[in-house]
Amino acid sequence: MDPPDTEQTVSLSTAVADDESSDSSPTSPFSTLNDLCYELSSLHDLATRGSWRSILDKVARARNHSLLSKPHEHLTYLAYNSLALVKLRRFADAAAEIDSLDDDLDSPHYRYESYVQHYSNRHGSMVPFVLRWIHAEIPSKLGKQQETLDRLYILLDFVRTELNKKMSNNLNVSIDLWRQRENFVVNSMICHHLGRKEFGVSLHLIRDMMIRNGEVKDPNPVSLSKLGYIQMQYGDLEGAKETFDRIESLVEGKEDVEMKNMVSRNKALVYLVGKDYVSAVKEYGECIERDESDVVSINNKALCLMYLRELSGSIQVLEKSLERVPVMALNETLVVNLCSMYELAYVNHSDTKKTLSNWIARVAPDDFDSSCTRI
């Protein structure tokens, strides 16, 4: 049985959304994605819908028919192809794509000014940011955790160098973008350090990020929530409670559902640690009433009910969520837990899981791991 989830981490799609090409100039002459790269809007739409196999087909056709005419288009398509392979868990193939590049992503080979015949007015790196991130992350998918951490620290240095350049030139739009990238990389590093139970390093990283974001006097509740979660894992329960209380005072009186649910989930997490499952169920239930697509609360309410030996109730919570919001609730952790509950509750659980698996096959995106039903 998978343990309860807490807060959702920064997703890869967040990094992709604004990174179809590298930031190369303060202003852009392009009005659409297709102006920037061959049929880029189509690739972006497929990625948004989770149609990763279609992306592989589209990239293969473009390469086979020599439809990519400029150097940056090859890099953009390679980035989407690598991302699709990672999403489909074809990590060795994704690594092979990455290995086709020069070891130095800052090589002149990947700069606009090296191709004046194509880019008379552009300068800077043409390497999409998401490609740099995949380059850093892919070793961990092949069992090389330390190599990924090493590359993430190098990537963080690169991001901060670019951020300092934008700040010195007062390029506000670019500053916001590179600040988002900095936070994204730091959150990735925190996830890896937490996985290695390096809680002290994780605390240092989250606190340093908050200082850099100017959150000492005006903290972001989301950052504080992550801090509290790390404190709790570190064993500092009282420190975590203080952090969570601070969040509650910051969002008090606000009508933001997401913020209210964050407060309730934090309270529930404290109850979980104290094995007060009844109170945790109440908090998660209030979250679901406010937002029926809150997958973390749905999953954790079901697990708390199971801990209370209310197995039929926990199954009902998960099944109802799949009926109400199938796309939002179709989460691998949730499905794993539901199948585990079927195994505990039903003698003929194989038939029940097969029915679930057939439904998943009809509605799930390409990157959903259907093996989580354990049929």
pLDDT bucket at 30, cuts 50 / 70 / 90: low
Distances (CA, A) of 29 to 32, 33, 105, 122, 323: 9, 11, 25, 10, 46
What's the confidence (pLDDT) of residue 256? 93
How many structural domains comprise the chain? 1
Check pLDDT > 90 for residue 338. yes
For residue 135, being part of any structural domain is answered with: yes
What's the confidence (pLDDT) of residue 125? 92
Cα-Cα-Cα-Cα dihedral sign, residues 126, 132, 133, 134: positive
DSSP assignment of 129-174 equals: HHHHHHHHHHHHHTT-HHHHHHHHHHHHHHHHHHHHHHHHTT-HHH
Which DSSP category does 114 fall into?
Answer: G
Rounded distance, CA 183 to CA 58, Å?
Answer: 32
Q: Contact at 8 Å (CB) between 92 and 104?
A: no
For residue 44, being part of any structural domain is answered with: yes
* Structural domain that includes position 122: 1-175
What's the confidence (pLDDT) of residue 33? 78
3-state secondary structure 54-110: HHHHHHHHHHHCCCCCCHHHHHHHHHHHHHHHHHCCCHHHHHHHHHCCCCCCCCHHH
Check pLDDT > 70 for residue 2. no
For residue 6, being part of any structural domain is answered with: yes
Q: Which residue has the tokens 């585990």?
A: 340
Angle (nearest 5°) at CA 134 between 133 and 140: 110
Q: What residues contact 89, with CB distance under 8 A and at least 6 apart?
A: 367, 369
Q: Contact at 8 Å (CB) between 265 and 287?
A: yes
For residue 4, being part of any structural domain is answered with: yes
Each residue of 99-140: pLDDT tens digit?
A: 999 889 999 999 999 999 999 888 899 999 999 999 999 999
What CATH number has the domain bearing residue 88?
A: 1.25.40
**Length of the chain in residues, anyone?**
375
For residue 61, being part of any structural domain is answered with: yes
Q: Contact at 8 Å (CB) between 331 and 372?
A: no
Distances (CA, A) of 360 to 5, 53, 107, 328, 374: 21, 17, 44, 13, 13
For residue 367, being part of any structural domain is answered with: no
For residue 28, being part of any structural domain is answered with: yes
Rounded distance, CA 213 to CA 208, Å?
Answer: 9
For residue 159, being part of any structural domain is answered with: yes
What's the confidence (pLDDT) of residue 370? 86
pLDDT bucket at 19, cuts 50 / 70 / 90: very low
The structure tokens listed for 339 are 């199948």
